[in-house]
Amino acid sequence: MHFSDFFKGTTEINVTGPKIIASFEVFGITINFTESILLSWIIIAGVTLLLLWLTKDMKTKNISKRQVLAEWAVQTVYNLVDDTMGKGNRKFAPYIGALFTFSILGSLISLFGLRSVTADFSVVLSWALITFIWVHATKLRTNGLWGYLKGYASPVFVMLPMNVLSEVSLPVSMSIRHFGNIASGMIISGLVYYALTSITKAIGVAFMTIGIPAVLSLYFDLFSSFMQAFIFIMLTMVNVANAAEAD
């Protein structure tokens, strides 16, 4: 995109997946290095640098402002995990906090005009699969192999297909919910930009090009991103906490 294109507005509606930057052939399998992977690594690097700066030379007395910020962030995640999963599960807090940060920054990156990482279905599907594997590993650990298998045939054996279906629907519903919300925001914003550009071209004066996109962005980018990130971690925690209870 050239700088002059920036002021042209949106002149076409183009809904595609993330751009493929490079393709590798590894053992006959094509691996695509996409925009999402690049942006994910930029987010990871940025968060890592920020956290390294926040946690530099921590003290027990006369603490600095940035240490207060770091302690507040850690304490917030600890409190959330304690409330939702119970006191004994604090060891999961780092993963929950990392997932929340990654999810919200991956969605909010659209504020810089980049493509949201979470508007790529494979990204959210991989997070949902992590939750899925985690839930089933927890179930195996609490009930044992026999109890785990018996859980599929409860209350009667005829319910087996239903139980399998309900287990499979967990990652599908979690990933489609997150993807659908962010992608719908992206598409609706694109349509509105296109409509505003068309109106501006037709009447010759800039028509609402400053007001409407800001309000839409407030809902679709800020609110929706935060809600979806929060719901994703809440569902992960609730499902794992349920799996940890023996039937």
| Using rule CB under 8 A, residue 222 touches another protein | no
The answer to whether 170 touches 239, Cβ cutoff 8 Å, is yes
User: Interface with another protein by CB under 8 A: which range of 98-106, 146-154, 178-186, 213-221?
Assistant: 178-186
**Residue 221: CB atoms within 10 Å:** 20
The answer to whether 85 touches 240, Cβ cutoff 8 Å, is yes
* Residue located via tokens 């407030």: 218
Length of the chain: 247
What is the SS3 assignment for 24?
strand
Q: Figure out which of the listed residues 179, 193, 197, 220 binds another protein, where binding follows CB under 8 A.
A: 179
Q: Figure out which of the listed residues 66, 177, 207, 217 binds another protein, where binding follows CB under 8 A.
A: 177
Q: Figure out which of the listed residues 187, 195, 222, 241 binds another protein, where binding follows CB under 8 A.
A: 187
Give Cα 135 to chain centroid, integer Å.
Answer: 18
β 20-26/29-34 pair status: antiparallel
CB of 193 to another protein, least distance (A): 17
Q: What is d(CA 189, CA 224) in angstroms, rounded to the nearest whole number?
A: 13
**Cβ closest to another protein, residue 160 vs residue 168:** 168
Show the binding pattern over residues 122-161: x = contacts another protein (CB under 8 A), - = does not: ----------------------------------------
83 HSE (CA, 13 A, CB side): 8
User: Interface with another protein by CB under 8 A: which range of 19-27, 34-42, 193-201, 224-232?
Assistant: 224-232
Binding footprint of another protein on the chain (CB under 8 A): 15-16, 173, 176-177, 179-181, 183-184, 187, 227-228, 230-231, 234-235
